[in-house]
């Protein structure tokens, strides 16, 4: 009788553990969906790339391991991209002192000059990389811009948003706080 009671107690403990784990995972997914970001499951690693910044310095994605990465593909000729830029700047200003990095990858075919002029004109301060040949665009299988990815501290793809967003929205900030505080 005692063995049967212990067995039932063990089964009940396992059930409660898995129920709480599932509930926690669903809650996490809700944060993504509330922020307008589609969660990416499966722990797929973000592909590494090397692109130049606006000062001509090469930057690699792997250099930002240990931080939550907001990776946005855009172009100066893309109206919806330009529409979301002010809210991206506000988001960057709020999180720049945290374990967070903001990468805006321009896919302008004309190269650095028009991008640099646009960024300086609007006084954006987040890190901008240049991808005129579409190398990173292809690596991430982006089919339209703007497209944004969230990458966790371990380099895993965890979220994707296609189309423009208000990135200064409270749900986005809440999600980023959770991801940054997760500590990898």
Split at pLDDT 50, 70, 90, the class of 149 is very high
CATH of residue 132's domain is 3.40.30.10
Does residue 27 belong to any structural domain of this protein? no
| 12 part of a folded domain | no
Residue 71, token pair as written in the block:
């990776």
The residue behind tokens 């809440």 is: 174
pLDDT tens, 120-135? 999 999 999 999 999 9
**pLDDT for residue 50:** 97
Residue 8, in any domain of the structure: no
Kindly state the average pLDDT of the residues 155-178.
95
Q: Is 106 among the domain residues?
A: yes
Q: Which residue matches tokens 């709480």?
A: 20
For 109, the domain range is 35-181
Contact present, 53 and 129 (Cβ < 8 Å): yes
Do the domain assignments include residue 175?
A: yes
Residue 71 lies in a domain: yes
Please give the pLDDT value at position 12: 39
Per the CB < 8 A criterion, the answer to whether 70 and 102 are in contact is yes
pLDDT at 9: 42
Q: What is the mean pLDDT of residues 155-179?
A: 95
Cβ-in-10-Å burial (0-12, 13-18, 19+) of 53 comes to middle
CA 137 to CA 21: how far, in whole Å?
Answer: 35
Adjacency order of strands within the sheet including 157-162? 38-39, 157-162, 147-151, 68-74, 100-106, 127-130, 50-53, 58-60
Which residue matches tokens 């000729």? 77
How confident is the model over 69-116, as pLDDT tens digits? Answer: 999 999 999 999 999 999 999 999 999 999 999 999 999 999 899 999
Residue 157 within a domain:
yes
Quick one: pLDDT band at residue 3, thresholds 50, 70, 90?
low
pLDDT digits (tens, 9 = 90+) for 33-61: 888 899 998 889 999 999 999 999 999 99
């Amino acid at each position: 009788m005692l063995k049967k009671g212990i067995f039932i107690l063990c089964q009940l403990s396992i059930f409660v553990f898995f129920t709480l784990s599932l509930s926690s995972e669903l809650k996490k997914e809700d944060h993504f969906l509330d922020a307008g970001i589609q969660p990416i499951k499966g722990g797929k690693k973000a592909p590494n790339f090397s692109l130049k910044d606006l000062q001509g310095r090469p930057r690699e994605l792997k250099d930002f391991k240990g931080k939550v990465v907001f990776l946005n593909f855009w172009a100066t000729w893309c109206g919806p991209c330009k529409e979301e830029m002010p809210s991206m700047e506000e988001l960057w200003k709020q999180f720049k002192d945290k374990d967070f990095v903001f990468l805006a990858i321009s896919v302008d075919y004309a190269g650095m000059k028009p991008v640099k002029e646009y960024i300086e004109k609007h006084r954006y301060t987040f890190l901008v990389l240049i991808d005129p040949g579409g190398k990173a665009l292809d690596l991430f299988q982006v089919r339209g811009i703007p497209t944004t990815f969230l990458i966790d501290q371990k380099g895993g793809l965890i979220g994707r948003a296609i189309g423009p967003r208000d990135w200064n929205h409270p749900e986005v900030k809440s999600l980023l706080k959770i991801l940054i505080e997760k500590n990898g």
